[in-house]
Amino acid sequence: MRGKGYLIAITVVVAITAVYYRENILVMLSVLICWLFLIHYKKILLFPLLTLIVFSAYFFYVDTNNTTLLSGDETKFHGEIITSPINKNEKITFTIRNDMNEKLIAKLKDNKSLSIGEKCHIVGTLEKPLTSKNFYDFNYASYLYFQEIHWILHVNEIDCKRKPLSVLEKIKLLRSKGIERVKQSYPKGINGYVNALIFGEKSSIPKDEYQLYQQQGLSHLLAISGLHVGTLFGFIYYIFIRIGLTKEKTRSLLLFILPLYAIIAGSAPSVVRASSMAFFFLLFLRLRKRMLALDAISIACIITLIYDPYKVFHLGFQLSFIVSFFLICSTRIISRYQQRYKQLFVVTIIAQLASFPLVLYTNYEISIWSYFLNLLFIPVYSIVLLPLLFISFFIIEFQAVFHGLISFVEFVFSTLLQLLIMVESFSFGKIIFGKPPIFIVLTYYFTLLVGFYIWEKNEGLKDILKAFTLFMILCIGHWLFPYFDGSIEVTILDVGQGDAIVLKLPYQREVIVIDTGKAIVNKEGEEIYNAGKAVVNPFLKAKGIKRINKLILTHGDIDHIGGATAILNNFPVNKLLLPKTNIKDKISELTKAASKKGIEIIYATRGMRWHVKSGQFVILHPAKQNYYNDSNNQSIVLLSELGNKKWLFTGDIEKEAEEELTKVYKNMDVDVLKVAHHGSNTSSTLKFINETNPHVSVISVGRNNIYGHPHDDVLNRLRRNSGLVARTDRDGAITFIYKRGKWKIIKSLN
């Protein structure tokens, strides 16, 4: 099986994936068919088939035993801290293993000093982690499930005592102390990057800055991988040889250091993969045997998945192994190009193409600048930043030299960040595709394998371009696909205590966004949450929406306009509709930003209307003469007719505006009512509900909000007069889909 180890590794991945998706027949069959095609092509059947059976049984056992013994009613706990506590946003988070050997995520609102390995008595309450509150949202429950964690423990009281540490705990404690040392010694602006590059700890990198790296396809530089391991151990190898150690002794020392470094660097999949490959290469050299890179990566993959089969669902694992696999298989292509700069160009192309399907699956878009930025950033990180950071960490005590070195490093980081900010500000360069189904991801990889196979056999530029014809056709088809979707969709997103609604008409003839959710800042004035960034933008991109025809901001409250700037910065918007109001200070900055972008600003008043094929829209409120002094009653109220149903979107109007509407518009029957002001008792009067007579009522409201929304009286009125009451705090995002003459409702928390 020399050189064929990858077949076993792929079989292990297929076995785990097929068992996990055993209830999703389409995904399971897609994966198994691809595997059968590969095995048939290679004419090696028996050993892969045995591997498939064994690993399917193994993972089925692991997965069916991934359950909890806790009921959720427990309040007292005893266990050991098994991860380094992370202090962020005035909250300490760590993992504890209780006496039943079950892991819990613990959260503590305190500045208490805690460390790994401590035994703790805890009083607190358990909470089930939420699944995706929105379609295409990060699924926190699945993320924890893959770590075999089923509960979040909210700590009220904690008492911890130190105990003798194991060797592994001592290494992890050493890592924690190193992370803390970096935080105290390096400037605040770069200590997050230093910890990411030395210890694999990214939690201290400012969220906005990390997102910039992600959006430009550079986040791999902030995850310890082959680049970092190669740079560090190449440097150590050179030092050991220079001080007089033989190659044999140097290799033996590196075999000892590599596993330690993998633990100190956080044991992320990319670290484990790179360290394991280096370990096997050195071991075989020590034994005077030759090992193929393809076999080394295959063994690393298999060992990783034996230890933790859920790693196969970790994006870092997927990107690390897939990109490395493509690079290893492309060595003949790379070796054709003798000059270093040409090799860098080719390696970057291969890595970008290999990561392309997974990037689309998780980010829904690509940046055309990613390739060029990688060409610049990779040499800067590998030649300049990584060596200097490792050196600086070991000379912290030599303050004069340390500060001189760090000033230069800080300048480099700052320059790179400013470049990213500049590129991100460009009005072009992002291509939104939408989220591909898994079978499309697999098809992408099939076309890439065909392309690389032809590239390996041909050298001419025309032949290389022809090699990727299938890939390009698939890209174009994927990009165009949303324009062939003839459905109408109305989605009320879950943005907590706020509103954000997306209307998509057939073939994207019209896309309307009504309100954008809230933004939250901490005591220092730093934004810690923005619904536009966190919820609305990802949803629009996942749907393949590339332009917003109308952005309607019903009124100026922060829970309705907080995410607007983030949306304006990410999507071209044709028209911005605002209420005709005497309260303008809250939205003045938005109007300035919109004007700079050439967006038409319309102040909506009663009687304004527009229609497109499949939809009609009328503004019912506010009137031209607006006598209300509060922003809620100045909200835009929109009546629309979509798919033979009438929809009423009410913003935050209260009983005074509702009374006016019932006087102006008689027999205002609607099919779907977006309940005003999150179900507040100051809105949704019995008269208004009787006049609108909705069949379905939807309340956009935050879980456990401090206002007590929705009010019981409002719920009782709606239940007596409305056929169905849906609410985002319980149902998550709610989508109404009209297709082939029928409506259906989908809830993200079903």
Residue ending a domain, among 120, 146, 164, is 164
Residues sharing a CB contact under 8 Å with residue 242, sequence separation 6 or more, in sequence order: none
CA distances from 50 to 57, 252, 542, 704 (A): 11, 35, 39, 51
Residues 177 and 158 in one domain: no
Q: In this structure, are strands 696-699 and 724-727 parallel, antiparallel, or unpaired?
A: parallel
For tokens 């800080």, name the residue: 410
pLDDT tens, 112-154?
888 888 999 999 999 999 888 999 988 999 999 999 999 999 9
Residues 730 and 655 in one domain: yes
CA distance 407 to 618: 59
The structure tokens listed for 316 are: 């870092």
CA distance 12 to 323: 18
In a domain, 128, yes or no: yes
Residues 80 and 118 in one domain: yes
For residue 525, what is the DSSP state? S
pLDDT tens, 540-563?
999 999 999 999 999 999 999 999
Whose CA is closest to 226, among 371, 378, 331, 375?
Answer: 378
CATH number of 113's domain: 2.40.50
Residues 689 and 722 in one domain: yes
Q: Which of 388-402, 483-497, 636-650 has the lowest mean pLDDT?
A: 388-402
CA atoms within 13 A on the CB side of 221: 30
Residues 80 and 202 in one domain: no
CA distance 517 to 531: 5
Residues sharing a CB contact under 8 Å with residue 559, sequence separation 6 or more, in sequence order: 495, 497, 498, 499, 517, 518
Taking CB atoms within 8 Å and a gap of at least 24, the contacts of 325-333 are 325/6, 325/294, 325/297, 325/354, 326/350, 326/351, 326/353, 326/354, 326/448, 326/452, 327/351, 327/354, 328/293, 328/294, 328/297, 329/294, 329/452, 330/452, 330/456, 331/293, 332/456, 333/452, 333/455, 333/456
pLDDT tens, 686-725?
999 999 999 999 999 999 899 999 999 999 999 888 779 9
Q: Where are the beta strands (DSSP E) in 82-192?
A: 86-88, 91-98, 103-108, 119-127, 149-161
Three-class HEC string of 646-688: EEEECCCCCHHHHHHHHHHCCCCCCCEEECHHHHCCCCCCHHH
Cα-trace Rg, the chain: 29
Residues 178 and 159 in one domain: no
Which tops the pLDDT comparison, 7 or 188?
188
For residue 139, what is the DSSP state? -
Query: Considering the entire predicted model, what is its pTM?
Result: 0.90
In a domain, 322, yes or no: yes
pLDDT tens, 154-212?
999 999 998 888 888 888 889 989 999 999 999 988 999 999 999 998 988 988 899 89
User: Residue 313: pLDDT above 70?
Assistant: yes
CATH number of 693's domain: 3.60.15.10
CA atoms within 13 A on the CB side of 571: 29
* pLDDT value of position 163: 84
Q: In this structure, are strands 488-492 and 500-504 parallel, antiparallel, or unpaired?
A: antiparallel
**Cα angle vertex 88, ends 316, 135, to 5°?**
50
CA distance 169 to 585: 55
Q: In this structure, are strands 672-674 and 696-699 parallel, antiparallel, or unpaired?
A: parallel
* pLDDT value of position 524: 73
Q: In this structure, are strands 519-521 and 527-530 parallel, antiparallel, or unpaired?
A: antiparallel
In a domain, 656, yes or no: yes
* pLDDT value of position 470: 92
In a domain, 154, yes or no: yes
* C-beta separation of 195 from 223 below 8 A: no
Residues 51 and 196 in one domain: no
CA distance 205 to 164: 33
Residue ending a domain, among 117, 144, 164, is 164
CA distance 181 to 569: 37
CA distances from 537 to 209, 574, 746 (A): 17, 16, 20
Residues 188 and 87 in one domain: no
pLDDT tens, 325-360?
999 999 999 988 888 888 889 999 999 999 999 999
CA distances from 22 to 131, 138, 436 (A): 19, 22, 20
Q: Any alpha helices (H) in 550-597, and if so which ranges?
A: 558-561, 564-568, 588-596
* pLDDT value of position 309: 96
User: Residue 626: pLDDT above 80?
Assistant: no
Residues 242 and 152 in one domain: no
CA distances from 406 to 185, 227, 607 (A): 10, 21, 63
105, β-bridge pairs: 95, 152
Residues 155 and 178 in one domain: no
Mean per-residue pLDDT of the chain: 89
* pLDDT value of position 522: 78
User: Residue 282: pLDDT above 80?
Assistant: yes
In a domain, 59, yes or no: yes
User: Residue 1: pLDDT above 60?
Assistant: no
* pLDDT value of position 666: 84
* pLDDT value of position 165: 84
In a domain, 449, yes or no: no
Sheet holding 672-674, edge to edge: 609-612, 615-621, 637-642, 645-649, 672-674, 696-699, 724-727
Which tops the pLDDT comparison, 601 or 438?
601
Residue 749: burial class (beta carbons within 10 Å; 0-12, 13-18, 19+)? middle
* pLDDT value of position 618: 96
In a domain, 533, yes or no: no
Residue ending a domain, among 164, 184, 205, is 164
* pLDDT value of position 583: 57
* pLDDT value of position 305: 94
The structure tokens listed for 367 are: 């940046």
| Interval 303-319 mean pLDDT | 93
Residues 258 and 207 in one domain: yes
pLDDT tens, 48-107?
778 888 888 999 999 999 999 999 999 999 999 998 888 877 789 999 999 999 999 999
Give the type of residue at 644: N
Residues 151 and 228 in one domain: no
In a domain, 263, yes or no: yes
Helix H or strand E segment including 725: strand 724-727
Taking CB atoms within 8 Å and a gap of at least 24, the contacts of 479-488 are 479/431, 479/433, 479/544, 481/434, 481/544, 482/434, 482/508, 482/543, 482/544, 482/545, 482/546, 483/507, 483/508, 486/739, 487/737, 487/738, 487/739, 488/614, 488/615, 488/642, 488/643, 488/737, 488/738, 488/739
User: Residue 478: pLDDT above 80?
Assistant: yes
Q: How many domains does the chain have?
A: 4
The structure tokens listed for 501 are: 């609604």
Domain range holding 182?
173-329+364-420+428-435
Q: Other C-beta atoms within 10 Å of 492: how many?
A: 25
For tokens 């980010």, name the residue: 363
Of the pLDDT bands very low, low, confident and very high (cuts 50, 70, 90), residue 398 is: confident
Q: Other C-beta atoms within 10 Å of 685: how many?
A: 20
Of the pLDDT bands very low, low, confident and very high (cuts 50, 70, 90), residue 242 is: confident
Of the pLDDT bands very low, low, confident and very high (cuts 50, 70, 90), residue 31 is: low
Express as a percent the part of the chain with pLDDT over 90. 58
